[in-house]
Copies of this chain bind each other. A is one copy, B any other.
C-alpha cells in the first residue's frame, strides 16, 4: 500500500530528514511512504511551483491512501496545502487518515489569536465571524472526512514537547492503515 505523506513537514528546516523518518516508520509496517520532497524539482526554475504541483498530484494519483499532518500551521487551522490534498484524496475515493499533534478544540485554538465572544447562540471573533463550536479540533469538513473515509483524526492526549517532530500520532495512523493490508505470507 502506497501512502502519500502530506503535511507542512516539507517546510521544516530538516524537511528531508523528517520525510525519511516517516518513510522508515511506513516501511516497518510494510507500507510505502511517498513524500513530496522525493520529487526532485529545480527551485530556481521559473515554473518551480507548477512543477511541485504536478509532482505532488502525480504522487497522490499513484497512492492508495493519505496520512495528513493536520497540526495547526500559522493559525488555528491546518496547513492549506495539506487540507487541499486531503480533500483531493477524499474526492478520488482514497483511504484518508490524519493526525494533529495539538489536541486543543478549534474554538480554544482561535482564542489564542483573537477574542472570542458569545452572540446569541453563536461564538464570534472580533470581526463578527462565527467560530465553529462543535467540540471538534478543526473545521468539520476535514474531521468528518477522516471519520467516514478512513480513520478518525488521531490526536495525543497532551501536545508533545516537539510539535513538529514527534511522530507518535503519525505512527498510530500508519498502524491503522497497515491493518487494511492482507496478512504477510507465512515465513516458513
Question: Residue A91 contacts which of B10, B13, B90, B144 (CB distance < 8 angstroms)?
Answer: B90
CA distance A147 to B50 in the complex (A): 10
Across-interface contacts of A142 in B (CB, < 8 A): 80-81, 84
Question: Residue A43 contacts which of B12, B75, B121, B129 (CB distance < 8 angstroms)?
Answer: B121
Is B141 within 8 A of A110, CB to CB?
no
Interface hits, A70-112 → B, CB 8 Å: 73-81, 83-92, 110
CA distance A140 to B48 in the complex (A): 10
Q: Quick one: given A53-B145, A121-B43, A129-B12, are A87 and B83 in contact (CB under 8 Å)?
A: yes
Is B139 within 8 A of A80, CB to CB?
yes
Please give the residue numbers on chain A whose beta carbons come within 8 Å of chain B beta carbons, in ascending order. 8, 10-13, 15, 43, 48-50, 52-54, 56, 73-81, 83-92, 110, 113-114, 121, 124-125, 128-132, 134, 136, 138-145, 147-148, 164
